[in-house]
Structure 1
Amino acid sequence: MNNDNALHTVEAQIRQQVAAYCAADNVPGFVAGVHHAGERVVVAHGVANTATGAPMREDTGFLYGSVTKVMTTTLVLRQVERGALDLDAPVVRYLPEFALSVPGAAERILVRHLIAHTNGIDADLYFPDARGHGALKSYVEGLAAGHGVLFEPGEQLSYSNGGMIIAGRLLEAVTGLAFPDLLARDVYAPVGMTGSGTSADQAILRSTAVGHFLDPGTMAARPTGMFTLPDTWGPAGGTPIGTVADLLAFGRTHLDGGVSPTGTRVLSAESTALMRQVAFDMASPNVPPIGLGWVLYPFGDTTVLAMSGASPGGVSLLCVVPEHDLVFAAFGNTPGAILLQDQLLCWLLRERLGIEIPALVTGSESEVDLSPYVGTYRSDQLRIDVSVVDGQLEERMTYEPADASQERIFTEFAGGKTSAPPQRYVPVRPGLFAPAGYPLETFDGYLRLLLVSYHDLRDGRARFRNGGGRLTRRVSG
């Protein structure tokens, strides 16, 4: 892949896989890019918006989603290097107004906990609809009214939108700049992300893709009614928009020890190395170890730094493989495009880099006692009821909105759904379950997140359920 012939082969293979998948699974448009050993390819396919027929181009922008969290973490580390923040200081040192509904809980959360997803804040689906430069201040003010904690800081790992949003407000407090302006000044500009913006107002001036959801009756892709999330979700990925080329440039910055493709040092080598170090490991196949900002996916002996980003009707992915000088970025404009992204990532690792990807889970156990996992689990506005049906676990997931505003935003983000059909799970081993009907090799790559695990057994009952990296806590049963 470090010569023209190899680069041409990669482009042709990706184009073939993308075309076949999009046709079979009704994905209107897809764009992907690979940087390897000084060479780059970008492949675009289909349409960016079925309502207009606008083509998906190599320079088409899209909502970054949670890939933004790595950028937010980069901004935090920049301020640590400048002495404006201390990772091991309490957040309230810089944000005295930060409070939660549990007395004293906020005071125990350190800056480090925010960007390592170990803060325990129970606000993962909290969507206050504030706009403008005061949005993050409004978000923090709203936490005290009804948001507690799932666990003590540092005790567990749970993917945290709230932690990243508070980190964004923390950055505003110590720099005096609104988060969008800081992102543009300290990430976009030095990295050379010339196709990136921080709002829909900027995106409308250029080629931009929108998300789509499949119509349940016809399976035709229909455009989302929501392009970005509220401004309160900016640091977690709700509003930043850009291109695959820009994501490749950002990934290369982390690949090259903090030096961007423009030659500008964005982070120190020490800070980029710190982001790759394991901050917490749940030692469960479905929950990869976490660094600072990055999720550290083990593929055998190779570690892939990764972050995916769900947006209303779309999904992005950024992966960096430091050991092999490779960056992979992609966006598809239906949620199901994550399957194609996983397929392409595994193909690159196996076929282009020669990495052997071992089976993550093998076999299943039929004699596992299911009773420790039965019960009701909750987190912010989410209820999961777990029962035993025909010798398998069955989960029923229901969104329970706190108010009409929360319901409107969530349902638009999720394509109109507030509950999911019951899902059956088969035991892989005690405490680890796979969705029924999937071959186990499905979970060898990024889709290991589809596995479900249960943790912290006390008195014969699991205390937590982990699905997709997020914890819910047992409340009954």
Structure 2
Amino acid sequence: MPGCLVRAALAAAAVAGLTTPATAADGPGPALRTVATDEALRSRLDAFVRGRLEATGTPGAALAVVEGGRVVHQRGFGEDGRGRAVTPDTPFLWGSVSKPVTGLAVMQQVEAGRVDLDAPVRRYLPWFRLADQDVSDRITVRHLLTNTSGIPASASGEIGDRYDNAPGALAHAARDLAKIAPAAGPGEVYAYSSAGYAVLGVLVEEVSGRPFGAYLHEKVFDPLGMDHAVATVRDFERERVAPGHRSVFGATVPFDAPYDTSGVPYGHVGGTVRDLTRFTLAQLDGGRLDGRRVLSAKGTAETQRGHVESDVDRFGLGWSVGTLQGTGERMVWKAGSLPGHDAMVIMLPDSDRAVIALQNAFHLLRADEFHDAAFGVARMLSGVEPGTTSTDPTATVLPWAMAALAALLLLCVAAPALRRLPGRRAAARARSRRRIVATTTSTVAAALTLAALLWWLPSTLGGTVEMALLWLPDLGRGLVAAIGLALLLAVERTALAALDLRRRRSGDSGDSGDRAGRARTVVRARPARTTERRPI
């Protein structure tokens, strides 16, 4: 939640927008395959997706393929979290695919003249600040959109995943950034930040005068015909979004989380694969669908342009921009994940194609395997091998290793019970004061150091213990148990040492008294000397 734990990352995404298989410009691939007219290809695509679902233990998914400005293939696989068959009308949550939606909303306000991309955020949100006021004053809207604001990746764990649906939840989360120290100055480094997108959602609320979810319906979803899109708790309940699934020691288990209004701008937009396909169609046609425009062609191109170098490819205004591995085709894409859900949009603008895949399960340590479904289909459309990612042994070993560590610590805590055996009691009494102090000091120091390391490890990749519990429940619970037992061991050994030393002092005093008493007894028992007179 993991150096090992943090491979969990408690790589964070923190929290969402996760690493995908490396992309490279390998040169143009074979000629474009036409899904619309090739039934055999459609069957192979479906078979490939089924195989990926089996490999990751994902119960259900939905797939859509776009060619030439229209949907040419769309279908569901498996079951949702309530046992119903997944169809193109089954709702999912989209994770960080919400970020391009937020990017579109911000650009709408730019084109309306209400927002300047290069103006300080504080012009629109005077209360906005990080722990460093000077840095806060210099953060612009563009910095937030491109993840170059200086807000650390760890801030996503600090203010995200609150599942807060109270009025003003989004603004409350953004205000909590005031306690976060910046990792760098604005524009200096790239750091993926869901927290920055939370601020952008509040900015849209402020300049539009509308709650963010209501704004999205009015200005994005309704014009694009995204009839089942989710951006409010009411939408979530109306669409009856089924539970997603997490992995617990290799078993796929449902995770019925509530909605999170405080997380809509960066991760909690949702809807059916039909809804996300309509959003994608508008992106491919310069911000327009069925004669209705939500953004100018120029503004749409600006969101899809790679503005800065990121951890993977370049990053635009909500989108990642790179090339599709094995084909060299320009690719505009976004991965998004939540505990229990995974989403992918891959657009290939030069050939007017796109792949959309939604899944109702996710495992943070196996993110590449989940993303293989969409990337593989995109490569198959170009006639190249889809390729797959083998399971990282870490994903299997880490939860069990953490559970084993917790079990070992439990045995250490229980070990003093052995002192109740006569032999152990005698051995304990035989220890010198120096040995008691030395042994206890080393044990307590080791236990406290271990607890500190386990608590600190998630932060090295931008995560927290709380994120570990949410995203990797088996690993997170083992981590918490190990930390708790290490602390308990330190307390227990300190208390036992104090008791042993007190007993040792009492024993020493008793031994001295016994020796003195025995000496007095010997003196009293010694017969008095008498003088015997001999007769003359």
TM-score by length of 2: 0.64
Q: How far apart are residue 226 of structure 1 and its match?
A: 1.6
Q: Secondary structure at the match of 2:238?
A: coil
Name the structure 1 match of 2:107.
Answer: 77
SS at match of 1:331: strand
- The corresponding residue for 1:136 is 170
Could you tell me which amino acid in structure 2 is paired with residue 34 of structure 1? Answer: V
**Aligned 8 A contact 2:124 2:207 in 1:** yes
Question: How do 1:47-446 residues align onto structure 2 when only pairs under 5 Å count?
Answer: 47-49=79-81, 52-122=82-152, 123-126=155-158, 127=160, 128=162, 130-144=164-178, 146-206=179-239, 208-216=241-249, 219-228=250-259, 230-238=260-268, 240-260=269-289, 262-281=290-309, 287-299=312-324, 301-336=328-363, 338-339=367-368, 342-354=371-383, 383=457, 399-400=463-464, 407=466, 411-415=469-473, 417-418=475-476
Q: Secondary structure at the match of 1:222?
A: strand
Secondary structure of 1:33's aligned partner? strand
Residue 58 of structure 2, aligned match among 27, 37, 54:
27
Paired residues of 1:18 and 1:340 also in contact (CA < 8 A): no
Classify the secondary structure of the residue corresponding to 1:188: helix
Whether the 8 Å contact between 1:94 and 1:170 is mirrored in structure 2 is yes
Alpha-carbon offset, residue 163 of structure 1? 0.9
Q: Cα RMSD over matched residues?
A: 2.7
Give the match for residue 426 of structure 1.
none
Report Cα offsets for 1:437-465 as digits up to 9, x if no partner: xxxxxxxxxxxxxxxxxxxxxxxxxxxxx
User: TM-score, normalised to structure 1's length?
Assistant: 0.72
Per the alignment, residue 14 of structure 1 pairs with: 45
In 2, Cα distance between the equivalents of 1:61 and 1:162? 25
Tell me what 1:44 maps to: 76
Mapped to 2, the partners of 1:46 and 1:170 lie a distance apart of 39
Pick which of 89-98 and 114-123 moved more.
114-123
The answer to whether the 8 Å contact 1:62/1:210 transfers is no
The AA in structure 1 aligned to 2:221 is Y
Alpha-carbon offset, residue 348 of structure 1: 3.6
Separation in structure 2 between the aligned mates of residue 384 and residue 154 of structure 1, nearest angstrom: 26
Structure 1 residues 212, 227: closer, same or farther in 2, change over 3 A?
A: farther
Gaps of 5+ in 2: 1-32, 388-454, 480-536
Consecutive unaligned residues of structure 1, counting only runs of 5 or more, are 359-380, 386-395, 402-406, 422-477
Aligned equivalents of 1:65 and 1:14: distance in 2?
A: 24
Which amino acid counterpart does residue 411 of structure 1 have in structure 2? L
Deviation at 1:12, TM superposition (A): 1.2
Secondary structure, counterpart of 1:27 in structure 2: coil
Amino acid at match of 1:243: T
For 1:88 and 1:183, the matched residues in 2 are separated by: 23
- Which has more strand, going by share of residues? 1
Per the TM alignment, residue 344 of structure 1 is displaced from its structure 2 partner at its CA by: 3.7
**1:167-226 deviations in Å (ceiling 9; x for gaps):** 00001110100000011111101111112122343233335332112231xx33110142
Shift of 1:150: 1.1
Whether contact under 8 Å (1:312, 1:415) holds in the other structure is no
| 1:32 maps to amino acid | L
Q: Distance in 1 between matches of 2:120 and 2:350?
A: 35
The residue type equivalent to 1:155 in the other structure is E
Change (3 A) 1:416 1:143: farther
CA distance in 2 between partners of 1:65 and 1:25 (Å): 18
Instruction: Return the alpha-carbon distance in structure 2 between the equivalents of residues 248 and 265 of structure 1.
Output: 16
**1:435 alignment counterpart:** none
- Give the CA deviation at 1:43: 2.0
Which amino acid counterpart does residue 341 of structure 2 have in structure 1? G
User: What CA distance in whole angstroms lies between the structure 2 residues aligned with 1:114 and 1:295?
Assistant: 15
Deviation for aligned residue 1:40: 2.2
* 1:229-287 Cα distance to aligned partner (Å, 9 max, x none): x321111113x220111111111111001112x320111011011112221125xxx52
Distance in 2, Cα, partners of 1:140 & 1:3: 44
Instruction: Report the alpha carbon displacement of residue 18 of structure 1 after superposing the two structures with TM.
Output: 2.3
Contact 1:120/1:158, CA 8 A, preserved across alignment: yes
Which structure is richer in relative contact order (CA contacts within 8 A, separation 6 or more)? 2
What one-letter code is carried by the residue in structure 2 that aligns with 1:111?
V
Residues 398 and 39 (structure 1), Cα distance of their counterparts in 2 relative to 1, 3 Å cut: closer
| Matched residue SS, 2:253 | strand
TM-superposed CA distance for 1:3, in Å, is: 6.7
SS at 2:288's partner residue?
coil
Deviation track 1:30-85 (CA, whole Å, cap 9, x = no partner) reads 11111112342112111101xx3222122100111110100000000000001000
Q: Is the 8 A contact 1:398 1:419 kept in 2?
A: no
Determine helix, strand or coil for the equivalent of 2:157: coil
The Cα of 1:312 is off from its aligned counterpart by: 1.6
CA shift in 2, pair 1:207/1:14, >3 Å: farther
Q: For residues 104 and 415 of structure 1, what CA distance do their matches in structure 2 show?
A: 39
Q: Shift in Å at residue 303 of structure 1?
A: 1.9
Q: Give the whole-Å Cα distance in 2 for the aligned partners of 1:3 and 1:11.
A: 6
Cα displacement (A) at 1:308: 1.1
Asked which structure has the greater CA Rg, the reply is 2
* TM-aligned CA distance change 1:345 to 1:63, over 3 Å: closer
Alpha-carbon spacing, 1:305–1:23, altered in 2? closer, same or farther (3 Å): same
Report the residue type matching 1:272 in the other structure.
Answer: T
- After superposition, the C-alpha distances for 1:93-132 in whole angstroms (9 at most, x for unaligned) are 0100001111212111001011111111131212355423
Indicate conservation of the 8 Å contact 2:56/2:370, yes or no.
no
Q: Would the aligned equivalents of 2:342 and 2:370 in 1 still touch at CA under 8 Å?
A: no
Give the whole-Å Cα distance in 1 for the aligned partners of 2:383 and 2:339: 35
3-state SS of the aligned residue for 1:182?
A: helix
2:34 touches 2:381 (CA, 8 Å); kept in 1? no
Indicate how the Cα distance of structure 1 residues 317 and 4 shifts in structure 2: closer, same or farther if over 3 A, else same. Answer: closer
Higher mean C-alpha deviation, range 13-22 or range 102-111: 13-22
Determine if contact 1:276/1:292 at 8 Å carries over to the other structure: yes
Instruction: Give yes or no for contact 2:356–2:374 (8 Å, CA) kept in 1.
Output: no
- CA-CA distance at 1:323 after TM superposition: 0.6
Q: Is the 8 A contact 1:382 1:398 kept in 2?
A: no
AA partner of residue 59 (structure 2) = P
CA contact (8 A) 2:89 2:273 kept: yes
Of stretches 183-192 and 195-204 in structure 1, the one that deviates more from structure 2 is 195-204
User: What is the alpha-carbon distance in structure 2 between the residues aligned to residue 289 and residue 397 of structure 1?
Assistant: 20
